[in-house]
Structure 1
Amino acid sequence: MGRAISQWIYLGGVKAFADGSLGSNSALFHEPYVDEPHNYGLQVTESEILYNMTMASEKSGLQVAIHAIGDRANDLILDIYESVVSTNGMRDRRFRIEHAQHLAPGAAARFGRQGIVASVQPLHLLGDADSATKKLGMDRAQKESYLFRSLLASNALLAFGSDWPVSILRFINNYLSLHITVYRLVVDINPLGGIKTAMKRIPPGWDDAWIPSECLTLNDALKAHTISAARACFLDNDLGSLSPGKLADFVILSTDSWDYFVAEGSASVEATYVSGERAYP
């Protein structure tokens, strides 16, 4: 899937949108928002259009990634992907759902069963932990939100990224009254913050993890940011691990112990290598 235009440019696929965002009460849910009892969110693209776009992308050999945040939006896209596979037959598509933030019961299992990539941004949960409870209620927020471990347990491909700089908008919505250090944490492109968040799930001002049963191990968080992220965009033959024949993209950290990172939650990048050559500093 996709095609290499040069060593540095890869045309991977197309993206579409199923719904809006939690912060604007436009993510699409099966049940209404607690703070807006008549609002179920917004489906921003008709199902038929999404289906036809997916089918057309299939013919062009392009991977498909569709934005879905609410539980109903995720179910909708899972249904569309299932229908496309039923029509065109099985092959290695690596269909993606971007964000996959709130999943109805059984949806995590469908990701694994259908072979759908859950492309998730751990740092987003820092801004959603407080608002999800207010907007969805405690029970729905606890059962549906950022189900990292549930997705892995269902054998889904869990790929992590930063979504930067879109997170700046989330800061404006959720953190305008908080200290500037929170702003820097939420919009930082540095994956170390995402690794820490996936492991600890402790939002600013909280003492304990949000939905601790969904915390990941260090190894799982690293894999989601590296080899799984590469596989999610058909680049695992070139990127994602230090292996013979790959491009040798890697960083050198300020600590030689992941135990220190787990305990302290901090480290800095001392050097960056791209295709085996030092690019920073």
Structure 2
Amino acid sequence: MHFGGVKAFADGSLGSNSALFYEAYDNDPHNYGLQVTDMIWLQNATMHADKCRLQVAIHAIGDKANDMVLDMYSTVASYNGLRDRRFKIEHCQHLVPESPKRFGKQLVIASVQPDHLLDDAEPAEKKLGIVRAQSGSYLFKSLFDSNATVAFGSDWPVADINPLGAIRTAIHRVPPGWENAWIPSERTTLDEAMKASTISAAYAAFLDKDLGSLSKAKYADFVVLPANSWDELLENLPDTVLATYVNGNQVYP
């Protein structure tokens, strides 16, 4: 049982050169980013929140910030003992190559927002350099392959709330004006993207017993898409739905 959740911040953002990295920014060589919360305070607060059965989610964008939070989560879980706590890291946008495996091993949920990569592809390569950006940015496929629970979201109102757009972005990874995918090796399958948007998103919110799949005893919340097969859906993912049902009742159109 859990009793709600709390959120904290480990670093800033890529856009403001305040996401925390191991290496300095290429366009700001004396800047490694900003740690916005003292880690001793954050660990103590997380320890206390976890003891109170609150789910903890922490914003981390840079590769160093993500590792610091993973280290801290490991310490808290070891100290407080095994249970179904579902720690989350929000964004997980830049990781060192070894970090995706840690999400899977530690059972930390990667709560990511695919549409952010549409705006970040060009700035990331300018701010981090092409090699570093392409080896560590938005590692969705690596997270899936490491058996991590990946939950898709929108970060609305910062990004579009439409989940169909996020699914398309995760599958294709083609920023506006580009002809090719950004880091094509990190493209997800349709099945992975759909799972991240449904059952995994529900699991991340402790709602998987009620939502996330069409199953007995769950709410019948679902949409009808304009496609006759998964192959057709993959070929031309729509922007809109034909119908929406909430608890078995049609609410749109």
Q: Fold conserved (TM > 0.5)?
A: yes
Give the Cα–Cα distance (whole angstroms) in 2 for the partners of residues 66 and 216 of structure 1: 24
Give the Cα–Cα distance (whole angstroms) in 1 for the partners of residues 248 and 104 of structure 2: 34
Q: What is aligned with 1:17?
A: 9
How do 1:32-181 residues align onto structure 2 when only pairs under 5 Å count? 32-167=24-159
Give the Cα–Cα distance (whole angstroms) in 2 for the partners of residues 204 and 127 of structure 1: 8
TM-score, normalised by the number of residues in structure 2? 0.97
- 1:267 to partner: Cα distance: 4.1
CA contact (8 A) 1:253 1:267 kept: no
CA contact (8 A) 1:254 1:267 kept: no
Give the Cα–Cα distance (whole angstroms) in 2 for the partners of residues 71 and 151 of structure 1: 14
Give the Cα–Cα distance (whole angstroms) in 1 for the partners of residues 197 and 114 of structure 2: 10
CA deviation vs aligned residue, 1:41-71 (integer Å, no higher than 9, x gap): 1011110121111111112211000000000
Q: What is aligned with 2:224?
A: 252
Q: What is aligned with 1:189?
A: 161
Give the Cα–Cα distance (whole angstroms) in 2 for the partners of residues 228 and 264 of structure 1: 24
Give the Cα–Cα distance (whole angstroms) in 2 for the partners of residues 279 and 69 of structure 1: 37
Structure 1: where are the runs of 5+ without partners? Answer: 4-11, 168-187
AA of the residue aligned to 1:269 = V
- 1:17 to partner: Cα distance: 0.5
Give the Cα–Cα distance (whole angstroms) in 1 for the partners of residues 250 and 7 of structure 2: 32
AA of the residue aligned to 2:77 = V
Give the Cα–Cα distance (whole angstroms) in 1 for the partners of residues 172 and 231 of structure 2: 14
- 1:274 to partner: Cα distance: 1.3
CA contact (8 A) 1:116 1:157 kept: yes
Give the Cα–Cα distance (whole angstroms) in 1 for the partners of residues 182 and 237 of structure 2: 17
Alignment length (residue pairs): 253
CA contact (8 A) 1:261 1:267 kept: no
Q: What is aligned with 1:176?
A: none
Give the Cα–Cα distance (whole angstroms) in 2 for the partners of residues 208 and 261 of structure 1: 20
- 1:166 to partner: Cα distance: 2.2
Q: What is aligned with 1:205?
A: 177
| Pair 1:263-2:235 in alignment | yes
Give the Cα–Cα distance (whole angstroms) in 2 for the partners of residues 189 and 55 of structure 1: 32
Structure 2: where are the runs of 5+ without partners? Answer: none
Give the Cα–Cα distance (whole angstroms) in 2 for the partners of residues 61 and 231 of structure 1: 16
Secondary structure class of the residue paired with 2:242: strand
Backbone CA RMSD of aligned residues: 1.2
- 1:214 to partner: Cα distance: 0.6
Q: What is aligned with 1:273?
A: 245
Give the Cα–Cα distance (whole angstroms) in 1 for the partners of residues 242 and 236 of structure 2: 17
Give the Cα–Cα distance (whole angstroms) in 1 for the partners of residues 97 and 173 of structure 2: 21
Give the Cα–Cα distance (whole angstroms) in 2 for the partners of residues 54 and 256 of structure 1: 47
